[in-house]
Amino acid sequence: MNISDAIPLKIVVVGDAKVGKTTLIQTYLQEIDGNQSASKLRFDYKIVQVEIQQEQYCVAIWDSVGQGFQNQMSNFLVKDADAVMLCIDLSKEIDIQSIDKWMDTLINRSSSHCAYVLIGTKLDLFQQGRTQHLNDAFSQISDKYSALKLLTPVQYQDKESIKLAFQQTFEQGVQAKTKSKQDSTLNFQSFVLQKDRNSYFTANSRSSSIKIKNQKKDQCC
């Protein structure tokens, strides 16, 4: 299938500086599409064509490059995203407050249908004794943010874990996009039905009014 015929899907990768966002994207792209060059732009994106649930999708993967992104995030970058990959560094202590700030920023600036996936980078440096703390932290955060769907740990030496993380994110984005379309269709149908209903009652009201006027006219004089 020609890429122009594929269904568009937008994925945005965000996270604190030096968490490994660009490395994550480049590792994935190298696995599916050969060598990729680093970007010096503030924002960079790559296009890939993938099959998800037996449909062809043209996926734009956006990367935020540089520091201070959270406070200067451009609305255009996330406003129409279907899914966001929020990256956290598993080699460090889990900072729930930082994740809260990110989620609040993202939810305020993205569409209502957007799905979020928490990506734990540098799994190879993660201390196994902190597994319960990580699970508890994710449970606490996901209870607060229902749109945060998954916690997916990755390590750069394990290319399959990275491919899986992107595949899961794509699937969440497709589900969110599909639900948004269904909701829009239902809202439109509801609007049309309400409009028809109002037109029906307006027409009946006018008809009744005419009948009453005619009756009064017949009884007159």
45 closest CA partner among 5, 9, 11, 83: 11
Residue 12 pLDDT > 60: yes
Instruction: Please write the tens of the pLDDT for every residue from 36-53.
Output: 444 444 567 889 999 998
The confidence band for 5, taking pLDDT boundaries of 50, 70 and 90, is confident
Write out the CATH class of domain 3-181: alpha beta
Angle at 101 between CA 120 and CA 45, to 5 degrees: 60
Task: Enumerate the domain spans of the chain.
Answer: 3-181
Using a 10 angstrom Cβ sphere, with 0-12 exposed, 13-18 middle and 19 or more buried, the burial of residue 54 is exposed
Give backbone dihedrals phi and psi of 2, rounded to 5 degrees, phi first: -65, 140
User: Could you read off the pLDDT of 112-136 as tens digits, one per residue?
Assistant: 899 999 999 998 888 777 888 888 8
| C-alpha span between 217 and 221 (Å, rounded) | 8
Residue 106 clears pLDDT 70, i.e. is over it: yes
Tell which wins on pLDDT, 83 or 179.
83
Residue 192: predicted pLDDT: 47
Q: Which residues lie below 8 Å from residue 8, measured CB to CB, with a gap of 6+? A: 57, 58, 60
For residue 185, what pLDDT band results from cuts at 50, 70 and 90? very low
Average pLDDT, the chain: 79
49-98 pLDDT per residue, tens? 999 988 999 999 998 765 455 555 566 788 899 999 999 999 988 889 98
Residue 104 is predicted with a pLDDT of: 92
Q: What does the alpha-carbon distance between residue 85 and residue 119 come to, in Å, rounded to a whole number?
A: 6
Q: Identify the band that residue 150 occupies on the pLDDT scale cut at 50, 70 and 90.
A: confident
In the chain, pLDDT over 90 holds for what percent of residues?
37
> Taking the model in full, what pTM does it have?
0.76
What pLDDT does residue 186 have?
44
pLDDT at position 25, please? Answer: 92
